[in-house]
Structures are given as C-alpha cells and as structure tokens.
Amino acid sequence: MGHTHGDEKFLPLKIAILTVSDSRTEETDKSGGYLKEAVQEAGHVFVDKQIVPDDIYQMRAAFSAWIADPGVEVIIATGGTGVTGRDSTPEAVTPLLDKQVEGFGELYRQISFEEIGASTLQSRT
C-alpha cells in the first residue's frame, strides 16, 4: 500500500546553516536568521550557524567540518551564488559532493522564477 503525503511519521533533521558573505554579521544576516527560524518552526533541530566570507577554502572548511560531524544531517547554505568573481559557493561545494542530482538547479530556478521573476537568473545552484 502506498503512502500519501501526511501518512509518514515526521522525522526531524539536524540542520546547520552557513551564510556566505563578505559583509554580513549576526545582526545583519537576515537570510541566515530567517532560515534558522524556519528550521525550528518546521520542527527540525537547529545545530549550528556560521557566517564565512566568500572564500572557497573557508567555505570548504565549514562544510567539511559539518559533513564529518555525525550531529549534522543537513547543511543549508545561503549566499555566494551570484555571478561576480567573489561568488564561489558552487565551486567550493562541488568537490565535496558524493553525488549530484542532475537537473535540480534547473527545476529550482523554474520554480523560483514563478515566484521572484528575473532575480532568479542572478543565482547559480
């Protein structure tokens, strides 16, 4: 018998949040703050939050530490996905991935375009 949405038991995930920005602080990090609240409101376990500059090696260090931590199951990153020279989150993360879901970026941009329009085109995922 198949499951329908809502039949499954909710399993909270242990989530860490990484904000990539050369200018944000804890006080000015609206995206990271929103994500933290959303994670908690959804019933998940907020584990950690960090802000790192747009530097590939600092991003990789943060991602790698969380990947190796059994207390972290999901990492959500915000920032560093634009098209300027300093925006390098995709390049920082790609070597750390075991598997990529082909087509996800295109689907994400299509859904985002319907909600926020052309601003979607400034983001690479």
- Taking CA 93 as the corner, what is the angle to CA 46 and CA 28, rounded to the nearest 5 degrees? 50
Query: Using CA atoms, how far apart are residues 90 and 49, in angstroms rounded to an integer?
Result: 19
Residue for token digits 């909270």? 12
Summarize pLDDT for 36-93 with one digit per residue, the tens.
Answer: 999 999 999 999 999 999 999 999 999 999 999 999 999 999 987 656 667 788 889 8
Write the CATH number of the domain with boundaries 14-122.
3.40.980.10
- CA 5 to centroid of chain Cα atoms: 24
